[in-house]
Structure 1
Amino acid sequence: MYEWWNNLMVGFPLLAKGGPVMLFLVFCSALVVAIFLERIWVLLIRTDKIIGNNFYNEFQELIKKNQLEKADFLCEHNGTSLARVLKAGLKHINDDFELIKEALEEAGKRELNGLSRYLALLATLANVSLLLGLLGTVTGMIRLFGVISAQGPGNPGALAGGIAEALLTTAGGLVIAIPTRLIHHYFSARVNKLAGVLEERASEFLSESKKLNQLKPNLEKS
């Protein structure tokens, strides 16, 4: 029954012993590694593309000088998450305070969705890996009982194959699921931290908006 698999995995004896379920576990692990590297790039290496420290300092100076058109232009041509949030507030600078707050909140939610990308998939992969490990245990036991039924208990080599399949897939599922859970937890905490920075800076702008609202600037809504 498993001859095709053993032939396919002749160069990977450990995977061959784990049975076909190991192929799905390898696929899950590859996805986890890809997501891990992508999120490291976005959430750690390119942090300034999210919170925009240099941008925010310049934005604050323009707001203090009431140069709202320049502030809007700066937001328009800046690719950070913070710039998109603040621009949403600037669009409603002549409107009611609650509209400004609502615009900032909506923009913040959109950016948070982008920061949280793939995190749900990570949690799913952790759960699926555990279930695949369990499935491999079941298929290994089925294989074991099939050998016993066909050949009797006197063939230790065949019996060992079923036991190896059951144990290897269980171990493989745990080896993938445990780090994936830790990675998911770390990135979730990282997203919460970055979201806190965005919220803090949006709140600072919101506190200034009452003064800006009274000035009735000539900023055109775009």
Structure 2
Amino acid sequence: MSLFLQADSLSVPQDALTEVAPVEKTISIWELLTSGGLAGQIVMIALFVMLFFALYLYFERLMAINAASKIDNNFMMQIKDHISNGRFDSAKMLCASTNSPVSRLIQKGISRIGNRLEDINTAIENAGKLEIYRLEKNTSMLATIAGAGPMTGFLGTVVGMIMAFHKMASGGGQIEVGALAEGIYTAMTTTVVGLIVGLIAYIGYNHLVVKTDKVVHLMELNGVEFFDLLNEKK
């Protein structure tokens, strides 16, 4: 009799022996970016617009600065030869045929030959300021996007958290944890995207600043050589 009791006590229902494997819920990146409700989608659209403009401004300025930094190594040698021999018109024509900030500076200086060196220096400095403005055109917008991107992402996160807690409060304490967690991680994606946009804009802005500084140094170097040439002729 005791053996039967022991057998019965050791028997376990078949359902209890069957382990239910946890179902892993997957979500695509597109669903993650677009499942944040209307407010989250508006923030995402704003962030992607910022990203588009940041990339456009970066590549547009990069091509312009690279074009401005290209100059023939023999340019200044030809300018020195023309000016030393009094061929000012030939020097002007050479500057006009060379599309670069350096050539425009030298052309401005050549057009002032005959005036005082102070007047020539002032004319070249004013032309240099104009060239720097052209090189730095719209780069400040990259700096703005670098700061506005993360802030916009944080705004989307705050809005998403407010909506999640509102859903919790309106649910009377019976809100599903899954629904709450989905709202939270969807809100956090705006922060991630905002930081990515800001990082891209920040790196692009600093790279353009370095490239612009190189062109400015090139203009200053050639300007000094031009003044040395004028002092030799004086």
TM over 0.5: yes
Q: How far, CA to CA, are the matches of 1:196 and 1:153 in structure 2?
A: 67
Runs of 4 or more above 6 Å deviation? none
Match of 1:192 in 2: 213
Match of 1:56 in 2: 76
Letter in 1 for 2:219: L
Structure 1 unmatched runs, 5+: 1-9, 215-222
| 2:187 is aligned with 1:169 | no
- SS, match of residue 12 in structure 1: helix
| Structure number with bigger Rg | 2
Q: Is the 8 A contact 2:102 2:218 kept in 1?
A: no
Match of 1:22 in 2: 44
Match of 1:150 in 2: 170
Of 150-159 and 161-170, the range deviating more from structure 2:
150-159
TM-score normalised per structure 2? 0.79
Match of 2:135 in 1: 115
Q: How far, CA to CA, are the matches of 1:153 and 1:99 in structure 2?
A: 81
1:40 deviates by: 2.6
Q: Is the 8 A contact 1:137 1:166 kept in 2?
A: yes
| 2:141 is aligned with 1:130 | no
Match of 1:217 in 2: none
1:45 deviates by: 5.8
Q: How far, CA to CA, are the matches of 2:207 and 2:82 in structure 1?
A: 36
1:35 deviates by: 1.5
Match of 2:201 in 1: 180
Q: 1:31 aligns with which of 53, 56, 59?
A: 53
Paired residues, what number? 202
Structure 2 unmatched runs, 5+: 1-27
Q: 1:11 to 1:196 in 2, by over 3 A?
A: closer
TM-score normalised per structure 1? 0.83
Letter in 1 for 2:191: T
1:107 deviates by: 0.6
Q: 1:64 to 1:104 in 2, by over 3 A?
A: same
Superposed CA RMSD: 2.1
Q: How far, CA to CA, are the matches of 1:84 and 1:46 in structure 2?
A: 11
1:25 deviates by: 0.5
Q: 1:76 to 1:44 in 2, by over 3 A?
A: closer
Match of 1:3 in 2: none
Give CA deviations for 1:24-61 in whole Å, capped at 9, x if unaligned.
1111111111112212322236631xx45343342233
1:80 deviates by: 1.5
Give CA deviations for 1:69-92 in whole Å, capped at 9, x if unaligned.
210122233322111111111121
Match of 2:15 in 1: none
Q: How far, CA to CA, are the matches of 2:95 and 2:53 in structure 1?
A: 35
Give CA deviations for 1:6-35 in whole Å, capped at 9, x if unaligned.
xxxx99313213512111111111111111
Q: Is the 8 A contact 2:69 2:100 kept in 1?
A: no
Q: Is the 8 A contact 1:125 1:177 kept in 2?
A: yes
Q: 1:176 to 1:153 in 2, by over 3 A?
A: farther
